[in-house]
């Protein structure tokens, strides 16, 4: 299962990407995360459905007190990309 997600809110300059990477490694989720010029954070992740649900739940709730997610655009993608790790771009 693979998803593409854009996070809105206080998500840049607060450790979001590195916290996402740490949680992804804990849950065996692979993909990438990067800051966008418009202040959002873009993420693509793949793994089994249960792990992705836990991963997204953690990201939605904020992985530290400085992160404040106000909106999420999430799309399910058709096939897996075969990522072998989770990287911060």
Residues tagged active-site: 17, 35
Strand stretches in the chain, DSSP E: 2-10, 30-35, 41-46, 68-77, 86-88
- How deeply is 54 buried, as exposed, middle or buried, from its count of CB atoms within 10 A (0-12, 13-18, 19+)? middle
């Amino acid at each position: 299962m693979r998803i593409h997600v854009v996070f809105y809110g206080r998500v840049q300059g607060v450790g979001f990407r590195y916290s996402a990477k740490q949680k992804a490694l804990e849950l065996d989720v692979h993909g990438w995360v990067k800051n966008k010029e418009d202040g959002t954070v873009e993420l693509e992740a793949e793994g089994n459905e249960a792990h992705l649900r836990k991963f997204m739940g953690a990201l939605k709730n904020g992985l530290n007190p400085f992160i404040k997610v106000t909106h999420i655009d999430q799309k399910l993608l058709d096939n897996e990309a075969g990522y072998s790790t989770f990287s911060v771009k």
